[in-house]
Chain A
Amino acid sequence: MIAKNKTRIQLPGDQSNFAIAVQHLTVSYGPVPALLDISVQVPSGKLVGVIGPNGSGKSTFIKSILGFVKPDVGKVELFGEDTSHTKDRVAYVPQRGTVDWDFPITVREVAAMGRYGKRRWWQDLKKEDYAAADEALEKVRMSEFSTRQIGQLSGGQQQRVFMARALTQNADVLLLDEPFAGVDAATERAILDVLHETKENGKTVVVVHHDLATAAEFFDLLLLLKQRLFAFGPPRQVLDPELLADVYEGNLRVFADLAQSMRSS
């Protein structure tokens, strides 16, 4: 499945049996495109890692799936529907929370916010909504903190609460932008377990990830991005040293990481 330059441009067939179908996507913020001619089809029920150097367009890719950025060319469909109609089917955990950490709100209420999209704006949340929030907090192992104010948590714990909120949304596609950045080993484990469980429930999970050393271990499929799609497929295939040398421009640390991961796996 390695993307080859010499393939002719192909017109897409039926996209509706894929969770995420991206066709000829080009996105630019300025004269140089952030994403160029990306075409990829993600089957549902997979845990997908998006890798690539800094500024390679990983966040932009996620935002395109959310319909947050307007493509210059191409389109993104979820389950065969344009992203403008799929707001209730995706949940998103941003790279870093930009909320007011002193806001008077408890962990449980934050998690329950995941249900706001399911209720009319004048309706109160119901018992079952809070039950869903509690369940999600249980999954991310944050139940014991549910009455804490959101600011009184460590960074990793806050990250887990926002994951719980995304889980509460019960979306078909879960998008996470670098959830493993700056969390300890225990949190990493907790997040990973939840992602696997979510996947087992038939959801599609797409995770921006920067650590090549753990990429093979964490994900079913990897998507290697640097403005263009360099590869998409199982980790063994994508973590090809030649390809990585091309994408990471011979950055040595990356290869050290990789060698280590190959040894450990």
Chain B
Amino acid sequence: MDWLEGLQLDYGHVIRPLIVGTLVSIVCSVLGCFIVLRKMSFLADAIAHSMLAGVIAGYLLIKITLGREAELGALLIGALLAGIVTVAMVGFVTRFSRIKQDTAIGIMYTGLFALGAFVISIKYFGSMIHVDIYHYILGNVLSVPDEELWLLAIVTSVVLSVVILFYRPLQLTSFDPIMAASIGIPVLAVEYLLTVCTSLVVVSGVQIAGVILVVALIITPAATAYLLSDRLDRMIFLSAIIGVFGFWLGFALATFAGASPGASVVVTMTFIFLLTMTFAPRYGLIADWIRKSSTIPQEIMEDVLGAVLRAQGKSVPISEIERTVTTRNMKIRQAITMLGRQDLVDVDHDQVCLTEAGEIEANRLVRAHRLWETYLEQTGTPEKELHNKAHKLEHISDQATVEYLDDVLGHPISDPHGSVIPADASQIGPDREFVSSLLREGNRASVQRVGALADSFGFKPGDTITMGKRSDGGRTWTLIAEDGRELKLDHEQADSLVVRMTP
């Protein structure tokens, strides 16, 4: 056993604080997960502060009744009582007055803290109390007496056991208290259990960081872990690791710089939190920024498609697209990559051309644009606004909307500038039946069904018809029968004739 004693002699001043700090960090950061998830952070703060009153009350009580200096007992019992009183009073105030919880906590803990300060500042009591206020406020991990180490060990094992044993009730009451109550979990009892644990943990934490900073030990590692996990069990595990790591690092820094260990530990943990907040892979600021900037708006992709389509089958250099589509060039390149991945364009070095699917998609957009433009013109939009407005509207291009526009406009063939409105290939594909008003000049189709309105024209199912020129401003359809007869139909009559494209 010589070597152990030797070790203690040499390193005792370091080993003991490290043991204390590790234990406290673990217990604080594990419990902290529940406190953070239940949005009780402020309550932990409250308990830490009101503890002062509890400690003083406990100390005085024992001194007056037993005449003994019982610092540790006073500390423990007083802190527990203070915690429970705080929570009970906060609960009482919120339940029986209209004051909300945050305000109630604010009133109660400052009140209890001040009560402690008030009592201890009275000479008569002050002379009786040998509590080192400075120690309570700043903590001192370097001078932890044996009995406190024991206390800490017990608190740690009790709290960790509670978390393990009552994991499910704690989880459920944190997530959905109403459901928890409905299946018979005593929600209030769980809350008090958690309060007692918090009080115990605060008492332990005070050793390191003092009453003011102990809250950081509870909340900061848990909040850090929260940013990194989607599951409670992992969050608890991570929180413990972060807590311990933060302590060791902070302690090392303090030793190195000759600073207060408590302050150093808290500063370190805060720093770790900020780093995590910035760099966390999913919930971090940078990840968020990357996500936002790497999503390419549908609009840009559609504009790029349109720009390539305008080249009419030829390939287009990227620089050309960047000139016509007005947005950040980086986005355009991303959009091109994305379009390539969706097999809508082929990219060869700097040249972009449409694939077959891309051409269909681009035609769909052109169709939407030109139909919107026609619609806008017919609803009385001033001519010079037409193009820009239609350019915005073409992104509203879902099948139903475009079909509606096309129908209400009477299946126009050209837009106000005289450009042809492409037909919708999916609507008039060879494998489907559709109304004859969708046929374009020169299309040949076989009659499938003849509705009432088209009855008088003498078509029979199986007849082959050819679409002729539209006349009367597009309002009259001309159908050429097999025998060469030319028949004039209006929109409703043409709609009444259901056909199928002949190859």
Contacts and interface: CB of A to CB of B under 8 A. Distances in A.
A72 B396 contact: yes
B294 interface: no
B379 A8 contact: no
A106 interface: no
Interface in A1-33: 5-9, 11, 23-24, 26, 28, 31-33
B298 A31 contact: yes
Contacts of B395: 31
Contact of B491 (A6, A36, A72, A102): A6
B492 interface: yes
Interface in B338-389: 375-376, 378-381, 389
A75 to B, nearest CB: 10
A41 B398 CA distance: 27
A24 B491 CA distance: 21
A1 B404 CA distance: 19
Given A37-B404, A73-B379, A8 B396 contact: no
A74 interface: yes
A26 B393 CA distance: 10
A228 interface: yes
B407 interface: yes
B292 interface: no
Most B CB within 10 A of own CB, among A9, A11, A23, A102 = A9
B378 A73 contact: no
Nearest to A74: B379
Contacts of A73: 375-376, 379, 381, 389, 393
B98 interface: yes
Interface string A22-54: 011010100111001100000000000000000
Given A9-B375, A9-B379, A37 B397 contact: no
Nearest to B393: A72
B259 to A, nearest CB: 46
B401 interface: yes
A32 B368 CA distance: 13
Using C-beta atoms within 8 Å of the partner chain, give the interface range for chain A: 20 to 34
Given A31-B395, A31-B396, A32-B398, A37 B408 contact: yes
Contacts of A31: 298, 395-398
B401 A32 contact: yes
Contacts of A74: 379
A102 B98 contact: yes
Contact of A11 (B298, B380, B408): B380
Contacts of A228: 404
Using C-beta atoms within 8 Å of the partner chain, give the interface range for chain B: 20 to 34
A74 B410 CA distance: 20
Most A CB within 10 A of own CB, among B395, B396, B410 = B396
A6 B492 contact: yes
Nearest to B302: A31
Contacts of B495: 6
Contacts of B492: 6
Contacts of B389: 73
B401 A36 contact: yes
Nearest to B492: A6
A102 B396 CA distance: 43
Interface string B172-202: 0000000000000000000000000000000
Interface in A64-119: 72-74, 102, 104
Contact of B392 (A7, A9, A72): A72
A28 B394 CA distance: 12
Interface in A223-245: 227-228
A155 to B, nearest CB: 18
B409 interface: yes
Nearest to B398: A32
A26 B397 CA distance: 13
B408 A28 contact: no
Contact of B404 (A7, A36, A102): A36
B298 to A, nearest CB: 7
Contacts of B409: 9
A9 B378 CA distance: 7
Given A31-B396, A31-B397, A228-B404, A8 B298 contact: no
A33 B380 CA distance: 20
A31 B399 CA distance: 11
A23 B379 contact: yes
Contacts of A5: 407-408
A32 B405 CA distance: 13
B320 to A, nearest CB: 27
A64 B413 CA distance: 33
A23 B379 CA distance: 9
Nearest to B397: A31
Nearest to A5: B407
Interface in B391-439: 392-393, 395-398, 400-401, 404-405, 407-410
A48 B426 CA distance: 40
Nearest to B409: A9
Nearest to A6: B492
12 contacts: A5-B407, A6-B407, A26-B396, A36-B404, A37-B405, A72-B392, A72-B393, A72-B396, A73-B393, A102-B98, A104-B98, A228-B404
Given A5-B408, A8-B410, A9-B408, 11 more contacts: A5-B407, A6-B492, A9-B378, A11-B380, A23-B379, A31-B298, A32-B401, A36-B404, A37-B375, A37-B405, A72-B392
A-B pairs, 3 with minimum CB distance: A24-B379, A9-B378, A32-B398
